[in-house]
Structure 1
C-alpha cells in the first residue's frame, strides 16, 4: 500500500544505530518496503574510504561468525555476493571437554551444505552494507548524530537528535533502537533490562597456529570456562589464523593481560591443548564482562528494541548476531503486514506481534547457549561423566547430532523459502 502524498512524518522508520544490525535492517526495509522512507542515526562518521573489493584486513581485524541461516538471509538481501569471496567457511565444528574423552563433531557435508557457517570480518560486512545502502535512495543517514530521547505523539513518535552539540527533532512512525546495550538510550527510554552476571570476561584476539585449521571451528570447554576458535582467512587457502574467544575470571584475565605475547601463548596452549597444534602468534587483545541480558518487554507504541539492545548472550556459542538477524527479519515481516493492512508501522499491535514471535526464538537460543555454559561449567565428577556420555551420544546418534547442528546453523522459520532447511 502506498503512503499518502503528504506524509505527516519526517521519516517512516528511524533506526537508532547504524552498525551491522541497524544497517542490515535499513537494507531489508528498503528492499521489502521500497516506498517507505528510512533514516539511520549513527554516532560515528560513515566509512567511505574503501569498498568491499578493495578491503584488506589487518591481522587484528575483528570478525563475526555467521550461521548458515544468516548466510541465507544475506543471500535474500542480495548482499552475500559481496561477502562470499572473503567469508571463511566453517566446514566442521568440534565440541570437546578439556581433559575428558567426550567429544562431538559436526560436518557440513552431513547436512548437504557447503558450510555450517562462515567467519567474516566486521569491517568487510560494514563496507558491503554501506555500498548497498548507497544505492537505496529511500535510506538517509544522520551521522555523526545520536538519538537522545523519544516522545510518543498522538500519531507516531518524536525523536530528539544531538548532532555535534546541536539539538534537532524528527518525527517517525516508529523508532527502532539498534545501538547496542551500552549506549544508554535503552535506559533513558525507561526499558527494564534483566541481567545475570556470569562473573567472567571474554577475551577476544586473533591467533595463529602452526597447523592449518582446515575450516574447523572448536568449542572447547575447560574447568576455567569455555573457549572457541573460529577459522579465519580466505576460502581455499591453507589458512592458519583463527579468532579466539577465551573466557577468563578476574584473576586469570589480569595474568593474561600482564604477560608478554610469549606468556599469553603459553597460557593459551596450556588451557586449550594441542588439538590445533602449536599456537605461534596472538594479536591485540580486547575484553569485556560476560552477562546474560534480556529485556522482558522490548516494545512500546512507536518504539522497539532489537539486537544487543534487546538481548545479549554468552559469545562462545556464536549465537548472538545470528539471533539478532532473525529478529530483524521478523520485524520487517510485521512491517510488511502492517503496510498491506494500512496499519501504522509503530502501532503497538504490530510491534507486539513481532515480540511474541521473536520471544520464542530468543528463549530457545538463550536456553541452548546458557545450558552449554551451565552444564560444562559444573565441576562435579558425576556431571563430568554425564557430559562425556552426552557428547559421545551426540556424536553417535544422527538425530541428536542433527538437532545440535540445526541450532548451530541458525535454521528457522525466517530462512524458509530462501534456502534448503533440511
Structure 2
C-alpha cells in the first residue's frame, strides 16, 4: 500500500474512543489518528463552564483509572467534578453478612471516584483540541476491506455520498450496540442475565459521607455511589438498580414518591429516607465477550470487546486498562518500524489484556451468581464470606485492590522520569 490517508482510524468518539485518541496523541505523537464519530462536534459547542445536571449519567472510576488519567495529564481537570469514594459498604439484604472498605486503611485518598459522563467527555474534547487528532463528524464507519499493508474503510457522512479512507489499522470503539462489530465478521458470545439495570440519581435525607453502597437483594444487586460535590459530602447518589423485566415495568409505571418507597424497602435506611429520584434510564444486562477481538488491521476495544454486569463498577475501568495496553503495543511497533496493524502487534495486545479481562469477567460474574442464590446453605456461605472479608486482612486487601482497579496489568506509560516502567501484573 502506498502511504495511507491516515495511520489509525478509531470508529467511535465516546469515552473509550476519545481516551484512546488522547493517549496516542500524548504517547505516540508520530501516529496520524482519525476519529470517526456519529454525533456532530464543534469546538464552539464546548461551554466555558460546566453546570452539573441532577439527571446526568455517571461512571465509577477506580483508583487505577485515576492513575492512568494522571499519566495522560487529564486528572487535574477531571477532579474538579469527580466525587471521591472514601468508603465501600457491601451487604446482603435479609442476612447478617457485610464488609467495609476504607481508603485510609490502604493509604489512599480514595478508593475510586464518580464522574458525570458529559463532564468526562468535555474534558477529553478540550484536551484533544490541542492535539493533531483529526475528526470526521458526523460520520459513521459502515464497512472495511483488508488491503495489503492495512485497511480500506467506508464512511457514511451526513449530506455526502459514501467516502473512503485508507489506514494501517482500524480500532472499533463504538460500543456493543452499533452493529459494526458484527458487520466486520466478529461473533460475540452473549449471556443474558434476565435482568435490567435501572439508572437514576437519587437524594436521601442523610449525607452519603463519600460512601458507596453495594447491596445484594433477592432481585439482584443494587449500588448507590456518592455523587455531586468533590469536596462536600452531600445527599445525592447515583443509583444502579437491578430488576427483572416484570418488576422493571412495575417500577417505571410508579410515580416518583412510590419509586422512592420501593427503593427504601430494598435498600434500607442506611442513608435515611429517599426524598427524590431523577429521570430513570434502563437497559438489559448481558455478559458479552469476543474471544478473538483482533484480526489483521482491526482491533475491538471497550464494550465492543467485552460488556460486563455493572456490579462492582468494573466495565469502563477494564476498558481503560485495555486501551493503555493497546497504546503501548502501538508505541513499541512504531519504535521497531512495524505496522500498527500487523497481526502480531495486535495479538500481543490481546495476550496482555486477556488475563485482565478474563479475571475481571470472572470476578463480576461470580458476584452476580453467588448473590443470586436464595438457598439457605448458599446464603450462609456467602454471609460467612463477607464477614471473613471484614476480618481477614489478606482477603480484604485482595478485594480492595479489585475494587480499586489494581488487580490487572497496567500498561507502560512513557513519561519523563518514568520511561519503560511497568507495574507488576499483581499490582
* TM-score bucket (shorter structure): over 0.9
Secondary structure of the structure 2 residue equivalent to 1:101: coil
Q: How does 1:196-235 map to 2 (within 5 A)?
A: 196-235=191-230
- State which of 383, 387, 396 in structure 2 corresponds to 1:392: 387
Secondary structure of the structure 1 residue equivalent to 2:168: strand
TM-score with structure 2 length normalisation? Answer: 0.95
- State which of 116, 135, 138 in structure 2 corresponds to 1:141: 135
Deviation at 1:327, TM superposition (A): 0.2
Q: How does 1:286-325 map to 2 (within 5 A)?
A: 286-325=281-320
- The residue aligned with 1:347 is 342
Secondary structure of the structure 2 residue equivalent to 1:377: coil
Unaligned residue ranges in structure 1 (runs of 5+): 1-5
* CA distance in structure 2 between the partners assigned to 1:121 and 1:16 by the alignment: 23
Post-superposition Cα deviations, 1:334-387, rounded to whole Å, max 9, x if no partner, equal 111111111100000000010111110000000100000000001110010001
Post-superposition Cα deviations, 1:65-92, rounded to whole Å, max 9, x if no partner, equal 0000000000000000111121100000
C-alpha change, 1:419 and 1:333, in structure 2 (3 Å) is closer
RMSD: 1.6
C-alpha change, 1:418 and 1:65, in structure 2 (3 Å) is farther
Post-superposition Cα deviations, 1:6-50, rounded to whole Å, max 9, x if no partner, equal 971111110000000000000000111111100000000126456
- The residue aligned with 2:410 is 414
TM-score with structure 1 length normalisation? Answer: 0.96
Whether 1:335 aligns to 2:330 is: yes
C-alpha change, 1:415 and 1:341, in structure 2 (3 Å) is closer
Q: Is the 8 A contact 1:212 1:240 kept in 2?
A: yes
- State which of 50, 62, 65 in structure 2 corresponds to 1:55: 50
- The residue aligned with 1:157 is 151
- Structure 1 segments of 4+ aligned residues over 2 angstroms from their partners: 47-53, 415-422
The count of corresponding residues between Structure 1 and Structure 2 is 416
Secondary structure of the structure 2 residue equivalent to 1:325: helix
* CA distance in structure 1 between the partners assigned to 2:409 and 2:292 by the alignment: 22
C-alpha change, 1:193 and 1:82, in structure 2 (3 Å) is same
Whether 1:28 aligns to 2:45 is: no
* CA distance in structure 2 between the partners assigned to 1:26 and 1:269 by the alignment: 42
Unaligned residue ranges in structure 2 (runs of 5+): 413-420
Deviation at 1:235, TM superposition (A): 1.7
Whether 1:110 aligns to 2:105 is: yes
C-alpha change, 1:392 and 1:269, in structure 2 (3 Å) is same
C-alpha change, 1:65 and 1:413, in structure 2 (3 Å) is same
- The residue aligned with 2:11 is 16
* CA distance in structure 2 between the partners assigned to 1:370 and 1:47 by the alignment: 40
Deviation at 1:250, TM superposition (A): 1.1
* CA distance in structure 1 between the partners assigned to 2:423 and 2:339 by the alignment: 31
Secondary structure of the structure 1 residue equivalent to 2:410: helix
- The residue aligned with 1:73 is 68
